[in-house]
Structure 1
Amino acid sequence: MASVNADAWIPEEYDSEVVTRVNANSAVEALAKRKVMGSNTIEVPRMGAVSVDVVAKGADYTDAEPTLDVVTLTTRKFGKTFTITEEDLGDTLADVVSGYQTEWAVSYARKLDNAALACTGTENGGTVPFTSLYKAAGSGQKLATAGAVTYAKLSDAFGIYEAGDYANDADTVVVAHPYFKNAMRGLVGTDGHPIFVEGLAGTPSTLFGVRVQFSYGLKLSATATDSPTGTVGAAGTAGNPILVVGNRQHLLLGVRSGPESMVGEEFRSDEKILKVRARRGFAVTRTQAFGILEVTTS
């Protein structure tokens, strides 16, 4: 059995290369509302709609009776170990470790997005860490486009979101698989101007003037994966790319710890063990706050 030096976990600084990679590749990490988790499971209150009265002079106020329930966040651990031989290290331990950490960050970012937004399986805490937005959303929130992504279909996806009670321009974002980049280039509005503008020099891309974050995790898959595959098929088929437009405040990301890492020693050989992890919970507070466009074959 390996004997590992149990050094303290070292959290990544906010501006570290690992966190930068995670935020660049994960829409959920970059855009979702964050909730610090002090335990492995927490319940977040969710309040229903509240009406407002016009109160006449001297009249009594009436009590609001909103529906109050909770959204449960349960921590899931995303991690990996890397064995590094001493012969390979030389005097470059920091560079080797940094290289593994940043590559893990990209894979973690994609798998988190897939698990949170595009996984079609039923939550089991393992291969399906969360109930994804796609799984939770009703048929009224989903729209299919057979092959071609058109102006009309994109506009209709926005319309599904905008017709709901939870639309808010200030918090509206678009998340999409990079498949949509090529599909949206050249699409123009009635004024002849492109509806999709690719970002340059660090500026975000926009669709209909709304920020777009692209993620390779936004292909449907039966279980959570950092590399979803499959060919485009009927609605719900693994491999179908999706685009989501909605209110980011209704994507709830629980943060228990990490990204963080630890380097220990394998006592019986000249090896180092790098362990990297992030502990996260995820839930959608209101599925009605989103519209989903899925590319299908029919």
Structure 2
Amino acid sequence: MTMGRNTYEAWIPEEDSSEVIQRVDQMSAVESLASPEPMSSNTKSIPRSAGVGVSVVDKGGAYSEDTSTNDDIVLTAKKLGKAIRIAEEDIDDSLANILTTKQKDWATSYAKLLDNATLAVSAAVGTGVPFESVYYTLTQANAGLGYTANDNITVAGSAGPSYDDLSAVLGKAEGGDYFDLSRMVVIAHPSFRATLRAVKDLQGQPIFVQGQQGDRGTPDTLFDLPVRWSLGCRISATATDAPSGKPILVVANADFLRLGRRSGPESIFIDGRDGLSALTDESILKMRARRAFALGHPKAAAVLVGI
């Protein structure tokens, strides 16, 4: 979206075909793969079913009743945004559209921050931590869901992820009731690419196959599962667009990556010729998105921690 030199009275949402939305979808695995949940308020409760059992019913016999317990997941929208000061001279003198450039730069950082916050943050919700990430969720015990802390986390050895490590982490996700081959995805930090290219099975065949790029391309695959790469997949104590901890590889049923969408990405431009900013000849571009996230069930995902 190209923004003119006007003061807007309301936030302007990005159109689906805008360069900002295209950049976010390209850079954020969670934004493009997770199961979307439209939100019309700050919070939304969505059901988490424990499943329904089936048993044999003899002719003329009584149906047994299902005893599975159900609960819900509460999605709470958090604001992810930034204000950008731009000198009036840069707007007037620049041959390129500096506002469009800043919007695309924000989209790149937003994509990394969102993936980091939803997949790799190691702490509970609090200051700087908007959601319970997949990694954090898998480190916590949940007796009600029958999950033991760290059960679905595999830590690579000092030499880096091996064939056994990669097979083990996929096995964690494949061994539960939440495996669905048509919906399973791998999301990993790009630093895993070099390791994966060198790993082969007992027949000497690569387990990682690079896809064909382009409009009609095919994704990279690991053990035949599609792989998306994310720069946000590094462990960090708080959500950041520049994580520096150990890289992780996430295997998950995408239906259980629940992404609440309250609003945005959207922007507002405050002209430097109005208001307090008029004293400095600077305009302000603010950009934000309001998102919520939860992992639907800890057994629907597994994580491999790299080196």
TM-score higher than 0.5: yes
The aligned amino acid for 1:219 is: R
Choose the corresponding residue for 2:303, options 285, 292, 295.
Answer: 292
Aligned twin of 1:36: 38
Map 1:144-163; keep pairs closer than 5 Å: 144-147=155-158, 148-163=160-175
The aligned amino acid for 1:255 is: R
CA offsets per residue over residues 59-83 of structure 1, 9 Å max, x none? 3333323211110100100011112
Shift of 1:92: 5.8
The aligned amino acid for 2:36 is: R
Choose the corresponding residue for 2:203, options 169, 191, 215.
Answer: 191
Aligned twin of 1:219: 234
Pair 120,56 (structure 1): closer, same or farther in 2 beyond 3 Å: same
Aligned twin of 2:180: 168
* Separation of aligned partners in 2, 1:122 and 1:292: 17
Shift of 1:93: 9.0
* Separation of aligned partners in 2, 1:117 and 1:38: 24
Aligned twin of 1:234: none
* Separation of aligned partners in 1, 2:136 and 2:303: 11
* Separation of aligned partners in 1, 2:225 and 2:97: 38
* Separation of aligned partners in 2, 1:228 and 1:205: 23
* Separation of aligned partners in 2, 1:17 and 1:93: 19
Aligned twin of 2:54: 52
Percent identical pairs in the alignment equals 45
Choose the corresponding residue for 1:257, options 260, 263, 278.
Answer: 263
Matched, 1:100 2:102: yes
The aligned amino acid for 1:283 is: A
CA offsets per residue over residues 4-30 of structure 1, 9 Å max, x none? 945222111222211111111111101
The aligned amino acid for 2:239 is: A
Q: 5+ residue gaps in structure 2?
A: 1-5, 139-148
* Separation of aligned partners in 2, 1:70 and 1:249: 15
Map 1:243-254; keep pairs closer than 5 Å: 243-254=249-260
Farther-moved stretch of structure 1 (197-206 vs 146-155): 197-206
* Separation of aligned partners in 2, 1:54 and 1:16: 54
Map 1:134-153; keep pairs closer than 5 Å: 134-137=135-138, 138-147=149-158, 148-153=160-165
The aligned amino acid for 1:185 is: R
Map 1:120-135; keep pairs closer than 5 Å: 120-124=122-126, 126-135=127-136
* Separation of aligned partners in 2, 1:273 and 1:105: 17
RMSD: 1.8
Aligned twin of 2:111: 109
CA offsets per residue over residues 92-111 of structure 1, 9 Å max, x none? 69821110011111111111
Shift of 1:200: 2.9
* Separation of aligned partners in 1, 2:80 and 2:298: 25
Aligned twin of 1:62: 64
Map 1:204-215; keep pairs closer than 5 Å: 204-215=219-230
* Separation of aligned partners in 2, 1:95 and 1:191: 54
Aligned residue pairs: how many? 283
Farther-moved stretch of structure 1 (22-31 vs 263-272): 263-272
* Separation of aligned partners in 2, 1:168 and 1:191: 27
TM-score of the pair, normalised by structure 1: 0.90
* Separation of aligned partners in 2, 1:256 and 1:53: 41
SS of the residue 2:41 aligns to: coil
The aligned amino acid for 1:256 is: R
Pair 93,71 (structure 1): closer, same or farther in 2 beyond 3 Å: farther
